[in-house]
Amino acid sequence: MTRRLLTISLLLTIGSLASAQSLTLYSGRGEALVQPIVERFTAETGIEVSVRYGGTAELAVLILEEGRASPADVFWGQDAGALGALSQAGRLSALPEELTAGLPGIYTSRGGLWVATSGRARVLAYSPERSVETPWPATVFDLTEPQYRGRVAWAPTNGSFQAFVTAMRVVHGETATEAWLRGMIANDVQAYRNNTTQVEAIAAGEVDYALVNNYYLLRFLANDPAYPVAQGFFGDGDVGNLVNVAGAGIVDTSDDREAAEAFLSFMLQEDSQEYFTNVVFEYPVVPGVEPAGALASFDALLAASPDVDLDVLEDLEGTLELLREVGLL
């Protein structure tokens, strides 16, 4: 038994060495989303892709720890923060301009080091039943008012929430952001672990509003069209409607840039973009691709989104400091 298992593991080891010539992708995005795209890419280009799946943050930290010896060619993360951390550490190399040409500003990094593969907007999820009598907030700052007391959920430890706080600091300054955080706490805001648990909390009747990303509710609705939660944007340009991205970059130590670039441009092709929006209910980044059914249109999203350069979201450290200061971390 032991010997057979050892032989198996030896064979697997040799197998992984033999395929070393292929493209290596470190993916913070899930297998169910990535695998079909990878298979189509291989069928079209003949380039084999081996994928390491894991948490977006852990894989970014892994690339940092591996240093020059990193086998990764492409890093594909679930948020701009991880991409920012890698580009700040000098671990991403510049992308060719034709790759990012024609994309809206919110979907590319200023330094040209990574490109968005899909967009995800912050929205306000709510219970249609229990919010009839309450006026719709024009801005996220309204949520500190007494009529929302104890009725709003957020997820202070969640990456998307922290990116939103970073954006608020950039747009409205440290003082206003700190005042908002303290105002929310004073207004008895309820803390949850992540977006899913927040949406579930509305359905469970624990809260009436939640600050979440746009796609979680759509997944619940896909399984159960009668799910008792809805969602909407704050007023146009409000920082509460921040658009964050899932994106990819080429690792500086990649030994096959050509294949890596081919993979990135494949992900920006129209059919790949359609696939993303239909499977995970995120926004396409390429104009002309229709967002999936229940999503707001491409133009409505651009109108609602605040004017924030995603590269500023790299200053997560300052946000963490602020969250610690007000006692949330």
Which stretches of the chain bind other proteins, using CB under 8 A?
1-2, 5-6, 8-9, 12-13, 16, 19, 24, 29-34, 50-55, 57-62, 64-67, 69, 71, 78, 81-82, 85, 157, 159, 162, 191-193, 196-197, 200-201, 203-206, 215-216, 219, 223, 228, 280, 316-317, 320, 324, 327, 329
Please identify, using beta-carbon distances, which residue of 55 and 287 lies nearer to other proteins. 55
Please identify, using beta-carbon distances, which residue of 8 and 186 lies nearer to other proteins. 8
Q: Tokens for 317, please give them.
A: 């450290």
Is 244 within 8 Å of 313 (Cβ atoms)?
Answer: yes
C-alpha distance from residue 182 to each of 14, 241, 298, 323, 325 (Å): 56, 20, 34, 10, 10
Please identify, using beta-carbon distances, which residue of 45 and 157 lies nearer to other proteins. 157
Is 243 within 8 Å of 119 (Cβ atoms)?
Answer: yes
Q: To the nearest whole angstrom, how small is the minimum distance from the Cβ of residue 327 to other proteins?
A: 8
Is 212 within 8 Å of 203 (Cβ atoms)?
Answer: no
Measured in residues, the chain has a length of 329
Please identify, using beta-carbon distances, which residue of 59 and 141 lies nearer to other proteins. 59
Q: To the nearest whole angstrom, how small is the minimum distance from the Cβ of residue 275 to other proteins?
A: 14
Please identify, using beta-carbon distances, which residue of 203 and 230 lies nearer to other proteins. 203
Query: Tokens 């004017």 sit at which residue?
Result: 307
Please identify, using beta-carbon distances, which residue of 128 and 205 lies nearer to other proteins. 205
Please identify, using beta-carbon distances, which residue of 24 and 100 lies nearer to other proteins. 24
Q: To the nearest whole angstrom, how small is the minimum distance from the Cβ of residue 40 to other proteins?
A: 17
Distance CA 18, CA 12 (A): 10
Of the chain, the end-to-end C-alpha distance in Å amounts to 49
Phi, psi of 250 (to 5 degrees): -100, 125
Q: Tokens for 208, please give them.
A: 């009436």
Q: To the nearest whole angstrom, how small is the minimum distance from the Cβ of residue 62 to other proteins?
A: 6
What DSSP state is assigned to residue 283?
Answer: B
Q: To the nearest whole angstrom, how small is the minimum distance from the Cβ of residue 4 to other proteins?
A: 9
Q: To the nearest whole angstrom, how small is the minimum distance from the Cβ of residue 97 to other proteins?
A: 28
Q: To the nearest whole angstrom, how small is the minimum distance from the Cβ of residue 277 to other proteins?
A: 14
Distance CA 243, CA 156 (A): 18
Distance CA 147, CA 142 (A): 10
